[in-house]
Amino acid sequence: MMFPLVRNALSSLRIRSIQQMRARQSHSKHSPDFHDKYGDIILAGGTAFCVVVWVFTATQVGIKWNPSPVGRATPKEWNDE
């Protein structure tokens, strides 16, 4: 009967200590690293690159995008031979 009570108490202590460590880390000042300085610029550059490549592919490469044959497909004349 005592085992679950002890286990719950230990896990709550462990959770509290993790929360305290995270609170200490969030209050400490850290110098900006590479991701802080250039992360948004790299993300925007990668997005722009992907958009440019897709636009080029869709407009210039000449891929047939499976257009509908409605109105273009005409039946052949019937040959009675």
The verdict on residue 14 lying in a domain is: no
- HSE-up (13 A, CA, CB side) for residue 6: 3
The verdict on residue 74 lying in a domain is: no
pTM of the model: 0.43
CB distance 57 to 63 below 8 Å: yes
Pairwise CA distance, residues 58 & 23, whole Å: 50
Give the number of domains in the chain. 1
Pairwise CA distance, residues 15 & 10, whole Å: 9
Mean pLDDT by 10 residues, the chain (81 residues): 66 68 66 88 97 91 74 76 65
The verdict on residue 12 lying in a domain is: no
Domain that holds residue 40: 35-59
The verdict on residue 55 lying in a domain is: yes
**Inter-CA distances, 53 with 8, 22, 57, 65, 67, Å:** 55, 42, 6, 17, 22
